[in-house]
């Protein structure tokens, strides 16, 4: 390694440096982060403990199905449900085992949504009861429309009633939106942009707090705890970002300018994993290295595609390679290293076989990435994306190809839901749940643009998550 620097020249820097990437918007911003004083931090944590138990009493006092459903969805959207996992699991088990045939479409939809989201494979046939003789949905109120819309996105393949529900509710909600007032209009706008099931948890919390605060039925203890929880998490995140920035600053110059800091930091990261893991878990780092080898080999193959001006004949051929190079596989699997005894050696052996859960997830992220970045990438020296491949295979325009690709993305979400509802010993529910969390992040990051590359598109979101605390 010591001879590496001499192998590169300034000419290498100019020739090999990637183009089209703007400097970080944040620079050393987080190095100047100053935490609150020790007394203030101690008060925040103590107040959070008090509120946590107050809310626990509310959870334990919930008995009726409508009350349970409303409370659980509220805690989930406010990011508080993880503090009451055992209690919520028990409540949802009660809901599942209760013979509930209510004629209230909102409650039926909410029940379906929460049970499916938590792994119960409940039937979608219940929604047939809300159709007329002609097979059209009969819905009179926005609340029911919105709940049905959100519930329908937890669909799997072959659930025609849910496919129809999405078409029906999305059209109705769009037509009604201009007549609605806040906060209902805010809820509908959020849903039409991203269905509830696909929203990134922490971003949903920031969006939902002001909506919940405006509700006349709000619980003030729950509201205060939600705000305080966001503030406490911000302190943790900012300390972590400060550490990461400092590590990047201290990286030794070993490689060309455009790679400085990365390679050594990459190796040090694996070393730090081995040190942090307990001795009987350090073997997991081997799997991470294998995953990143897969990524590097795939990227090398893509360079050959670019240099040879090769376009795969089918999108399936393209995805066989490109779903492994989007990086989503590696990031998701890296998170499993820290899940303790939930993740075994056998689980990682299974993950390296690229099971359907991982294929559908990485397909979803790859296709979303390509839709968001195809115009920018094709203006430069880049290999053909799945968009160009789809156009060649089906003889379509770019616009038509994007529509077709979006349908494939929806199929991938259906595949993920199917895998989530049928966990195995090798791939327990926590694996599928984590993969879906990463899919939500990918959906958000590529919703409007390639936000990993054009990061100013998410500057306001980053500020709200890490810089702007709530006044309590």
* Residue 221 shares a structural domain with residue 357: no
Specify which residues 131 forms β-bridges with: 137
Mark residue 259 as left, alpha or beta (left: phi above 0; alpha: psi -120 to 50; beta: remaining).
alpha
Higher-confidence position of 303 and 264? 303
- Give the separation between CA 172 and CA 179, rounded to whole angstroms: 12
* Residue 316 shares a structural domain with residue 171: no
For 288-315, how does the pLDDT look when each residue is reduced to its tens digit (9 = 90+)? 888 888 888 998 899 899 999 899 999 9
Q: pLDDT > 90: what percent of the chain?
A: 64
Domain membership of residue 11 (yes or no) is no
Domain membership of residue 267 (yes or no) is no
Domain count, the chain: 2
For 75-89, how does the pLDDT look when each residue is reduced to its tens digit (9 = 90+)? 999 999 999 999 999
Q: pTM for the complete prediction? A: 0.88
CATH of the domain at 201: 1.50.10.130
User: What are the backbone angles phi and psi of residue 261, rounded to the nearest 5°?
Assistant: 90, -30
Among 187, 207, 227, the domain boundary falls at 227
User: What are the backbone angles phi and psi of residue 137, rounded to the nearest 5°?
Assistant: -65, 140
What pLDDT is recorded for position 442? 95
> Which tokens sit at 229?
């929880």
Most confident of 218-222, 261-265, 448-452: 218-222
Residue 109 pLDDT exceeds 70: yes
Among 203, 227, 251, the domain boundary falls at 227
Among 227, 262, 295, the domain boundary falls at 227
- Give the separation between CA 134 and CA 384, rounded to whole angstroms: 46
Domain membership of residue 107 (yes or no) is yes
The whole domain housing 393 covers: 283-466
* Residue 112 shares a structural domain with residue 194: yes
CATH of the domain at 306: 1.10.600.10
- Give the separation between CA 344 and CA 166, rounded to whole angstroms: 38
The number of helices, as runs of H, and strands, as runs of E, in the chain is 20, 0
């Amino acid at each position: 390694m010591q001879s590496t620097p001499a192998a590169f020249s300034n000419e290498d820097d100019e020739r090999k440096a990637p183009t089209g990437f703007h400097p970080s918007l944040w620079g050393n911003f987080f190095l100047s982060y100053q935490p609150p004083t020790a007394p203030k931090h101690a008060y925040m944590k103590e107040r959070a403990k008090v509120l946590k138990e107050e809310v626990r009493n509310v959870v334990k006092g919930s008995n009726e199905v409508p009350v349970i459903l409303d409370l659980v969805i509220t805690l989930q959207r406010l990011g508080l449900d993880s503090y009451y996992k055992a209690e919520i699991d028990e409540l949802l088990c009660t809901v599942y085992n209760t013979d509930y045939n209510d004629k209230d479409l909102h409650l039926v939809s909410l029940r379906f949504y929460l049970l499916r989201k938590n792994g119960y494979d409940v039937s979608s046939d219940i929604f047939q009861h809300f159709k007329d003789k002609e097979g059209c949905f009969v819905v009179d109120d926005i609340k029911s429309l919105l709940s049905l819309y959100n519930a329908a996105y937890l669909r799997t393949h072959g659930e025609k009633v849910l496919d129809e529900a999405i078409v029906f509710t999305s059209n109705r909600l769009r037509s009604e939106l201009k007549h609605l007032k806040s906060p209902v209009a805010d809820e509908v706008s959020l849903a039409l942009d991203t269905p509830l099931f696909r929203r990134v948890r922490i971003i949903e919390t920031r969006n939902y707090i002001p909506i919940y605060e405006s509700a006349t039925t709000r619980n003030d203890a729950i509201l205060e705890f939600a705000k305080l929880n966001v503030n406490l998490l911000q302190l943790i995140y900012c300390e972590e970002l400060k550490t990461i920035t400092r590590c990047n600053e201290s990286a030794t110059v070993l490689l060309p300018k455009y790679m400085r800091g990365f390679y050594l930091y990459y190796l040090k990261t694996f070393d730090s994993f081995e040190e942090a893991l307990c001795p009987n878990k350090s073997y997991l780092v081997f799997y991470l290295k294998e995953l990143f080898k897969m990524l590097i080999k795939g990227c090398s193959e893509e360079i050959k595609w670019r240099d040879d001006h090769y376009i795969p004949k089918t999108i399936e051929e393209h995805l066989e390679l490109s779903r492994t190079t989007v990086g989503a596989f590696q990031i998701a699997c890296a998170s499993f290293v820290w899940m303790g005894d939930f993740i075994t050696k056998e689980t990682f052996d299974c993950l390296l076989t690229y099971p359907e859960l991982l294929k559908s997830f990485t397909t979803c992220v790859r296709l979303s990435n390509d839709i968001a970045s195809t115009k920018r990438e094709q203006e430069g020296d880049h290999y053909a994306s799945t968009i160009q491949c789809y156009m060649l295979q089906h003889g379509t325009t770019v616009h038509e190809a994007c529509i077709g690709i979006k349908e494939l993305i929806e199929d991938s979400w259906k595949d993920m839901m199917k895998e989530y509802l049928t966990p195995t010993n090798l791939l327990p529910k926590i694996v599928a749940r984590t993969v879906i969390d990463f899919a939500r992040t990918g959906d958000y990051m590529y919703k409007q643009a390639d936000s990993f590359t054009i990061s100013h598109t998410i500057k306001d979101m980053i500020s709200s998550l890490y810089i702007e605390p709530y006044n309590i």
